[in-house]
Amino acid sequence: MILALAGNQNSGKTTLFNQLTGSNQRVGNFPGVTVDVKEGIYRADKSIKIVDLPGIYSLSPYSSEEILTRDFLINKHPDGIINIIDGTSLERGLYLSMQLLLLNIPMVIAINMMDEVYANGIVIKTDVLSEFLKVPIIPISANKNEGTTDLMQAITGLVSNRCSPPKQDFCSGAVHRTLHATAHILEDHAQRANVPASFAAVKIIEGDEPMMKDLALGKNEKDMIEHGIVEMENELVLDRMAAIADMRYQYIEDICKKAVVRPKVDKHHAKTIKIDNILTHKILGIPIFLSIMFFIFWLTFGVIGSFLSDLLSGAIDALAIIVSKGLTSFGINPVVESLVIDGVFAGVGSVLSFVPTIIVLFFLLSLLEDSGYMARVAFIMDKLLRKIGLSGKSIVPMLIGFGCTVPAIMATRTLTSDRDKKMTVFLTPFMSCSAKLPIYAVFAMAFFTQYRALVMIAMYLIGILLAVVAALISKKFVFKGNPIPFVMELPNYRLPTVKNTMLLLWEKTKDFITRAFTIIFIASIVIWFLNKFDIRFNVVQDSQDSILAVIGSLIAPVFTPLGFGNWMASTALITGFMAKEAVVSTFAVLLSTGMENMSVPLATVFSPVSAFSFLLFTLLYTPCVAAVAAVKRELGTKSMFVVVLLQTGLAYTIALVFYQLAMFLG
């Protein structure tokens, strides 16, 4: 039995999915967190499969995640639908329900966030609603796992009895007549296309292109239908879309009048408005946002994060010394000892020590998102982003990009126009992902000790600045036209739940640690090996003679004009393409040092100027393999090459200009 979870964005689908299946999918107080179809098995009955779908407002899709949901519902024919509605905005939820009811699939409506509904003093008479809509209405609180068992009982009961919602009319008058006439005309086509005729009729009247294609109507039939629709438009003095929408809202208004009692003053809502008046203020909004971001970065790099990371790297170095002593007294072969200490400990340890910094960064960012503030940021940034040719919605992938470019590129699926999506994908690599953080930190520590935090923040800012410039240029020459107007529901402010926050942190940490012990582990061993032996596989005395030095020296001249034409830097950049953390671990292995005293040997490889040039290059050059693959998935092979070449070309140019200027100015 396959059950689909369908509902508006941010209505709690993923929360419910997690409760029902025991999985830990990402939940966020932000529209567009789920952009993929996720499947899970119901905890209490393994024969039931539950599918979490991206949120939608209507079954007429615009963005690729909406198309996913629609395709799933219409073409995959789930056995049942759990339609989940945010009880605090019932009307908007019901707008979708009215379309789902036509699909002829057993369905229940779950009214979620009942805790907030109670707290606001709203009364929803579920029995009255149920009488009108003729499907079970179950109040739940997904967060607290209340009502979910009843919900599952209701839907499984309906599915076993194949009890689809009975056919009923939501309308009268002109729309009603047109609907029925249309349904009549396309009935046999609908049957062949395996969609309910009444649903097909509504979609055709709304001018839905994919449905038009699926039905394959003849010319006469099309004309006949068009005729009826024009008749209706004339009679109602509304265009077709508006007529249908109006019909739905009319019906919803009617039933809500009977089923919902609202308090005179909605305290919760009043509070939200008060907060919004400040946070989304016309003039203050952006400075507040920038201050918050600055504060977050400052805490991460300047205060807590780097302090904890220093502690951890000290501990790792100490452990390395103990292990080294143990191995020596055991009398182990010095080459093996070198493998363990100079290879694994140096490489993996250098990356691991950044776990605390990353945790702090993600903790703070997740607070912003879960509280509902991020949605406001999208709102206040919209006007500014519009100037550079993006819409407010693009801010989401960009901010996710500070964590990792891969999910950021996936998040562009929420963007409704191809133009906006492409442009956003091209710009996300400018946002420094968290894997670059160790690079900045190590170099800032080694060469700009006093201005450590400042240099790190500068790297982030330079990335953003260049993104703006790139956006302006591409707006002029490549992505002409305007971004899609911005419509986004501002979610209620919510206290982030401890569980969600912990879950997110755990996922990020796990991810980072897993990478340290897989890709970085292997890369460290390979680098160690290539650095330890010469081309005749003798252990080298001086790493200048190693295989790696030979390979690296071949590429190094390319980087000479940028100031870092040495084989170590070239090697680090190449491994950095696998994963950006590998840049740091490579240096750690090559210089065979722990994190704490990496500064000294690094200074033999770089001067402060060439170090900064190197930082600029790593900030901008090609995203890592995983991110490049994500670009390919979203936009295709050609765009993938464009991203790689553009980024690398830009990185080269900027670093070149910087280094040459700096040399020239002395």
**CB-neighbour burial class of residue 665 (10 A; exposed 0-12, middle 13-18, buried 19+):** exposed
- Which amino acid, residue 366? S
Among 5, 8, 11, 14, binds Mg ion (CB under 5 A): 14
Side-chain half-sphere CA neighbours of 64 within 13 A: 17
Backbone angles phi, psi at 19, to 5 degrees: -65, -45
Instruction: Rank residues 10 and 543 by Cβ distance to ligand GDP and give the closer one.
Output: 10
Instruction: Rank residues 156 and 366 by Cβ distance to ligand GDP and give the closer one.
Output: 366
> Binding segment for Mg ion among 34-42, 218-226, 429-437, 552-560 (CB under 5 A)?
34-42
d(CA 43, CA 404) in angstroms, rounded, equals 31
- # binding residues, ligand GDP (CB under 6 A): 25
Tell which positions 51-90 bind ligand GDP, by CB under 6 A. 55
Among 103, 107, 110, 113, binds ligand GDP (CB under 6 A): 113
Sign, Cα dihedral of 222, 228, 229, 230:
positive
Instruction: Rank residues 10 and 182 by Cβ distance to ligand GDP and give the closer one.
Output: 10
Distance of CA 278 to the CA centre of its chain: 27
> Binding segment for Mg ion among 26-34, 265-273, 424-432, 516-524 (CB under 5 A)?
26-34
d(CA 34, CA 75) in angstroms, rounded, equals 20
Among 41, 64, 67, 116, binds ligand GDP (CB under 6 A): 116
User: Per DSSP, what are the bridge partners of residue 83?
Assistant: 6, 109
Contacted by 546, from ligand GDP, Mg ion, none: CB < 5 to 8 Å by type: none
Distance linking the first and last C-alpha atoms of the chain? 73
Interaction between residue 147 and ligand GDP (CB under 6 A): no
Angle at CA 169, nearest 5°, toward 167 and 175? 135
Among 34, 63, 428, 622, binds Mg ion (CB under 5 A): 34
Instruction: Rank residues 17 and 564 by Cβ distance to Mg ion and give the closer one.
Output: 17
Least spacing, CB of residue 55 vs ligand GDP, in Å:
5
Instruction: Rank residues 25 and 156 by Cβ distance to ligand GDP and give the closer one.
Output: 25
Among 20, 33, 50, 155, binds ligand GDP (CB under 6 A): 33
Interaction between residue 15 and ligand GDP (CB under 6 A): yes
Q: Which two three-digit tokens encode residue 217?
A: 């109507």
**C-alpha to C-alpha distances, 22 to 41, 46, 115, 502, 506, nearest whole angstrom:** 8, 12, 21, 16, 16
Least spacing, CB of residue 153 vs Mg ion, in Å:
24
Give the β-pairing of 2-7 and 49-52: parallel
User: Per DSSP, what are the bridge partners of residue 107?
Assistant: 81
Instruction: Rank residues 33 and 456 by Cβ distance to Mg ion and give the closer one.
Output: 33
Contacted by 29, from ligand GDP, Mg ion, none: CB < 5 to 8 Å by type: ligand GDP
Sequence-distant (6+) residues with CB within 8 A of 28 are: 369, 370, 500
Contacted by 143, from ligand GDP, Mg ion, none: CB < 5 to 8 Å by type: ligand GDP
Tell which positions 468-507 bind ligand GDP, by CB under 6 A. 494, 497, 500
Tell which residue, 492, 454, 472, 253, has the closest CA to residue 370: 492
Give the β-pairing of 80-86 and 2-7: parallel
Sequence-distant (6+) residues with CB within 8 A of 246 are: 236, 238
Interaction between residue 11 and ligand GDP (CB under 6 A): yes
Instruction: Rank residues 79 and 370 by Cβ distance to ligand GDP and give the closer one.
Output: 370
Instruction: Rank residues 5 and 344 by Cβ distance to ligand GDP and give the closer one.
Output: 5
Residues that bind Mg ion (CB under 5 A): 14, 33-34
Residues that bind ligand GDP (CB under 6 A): 7, 9-15, 27-29, 33-34, 55, 112-113, 115-116, 141-143, 370, 494, 497, 500
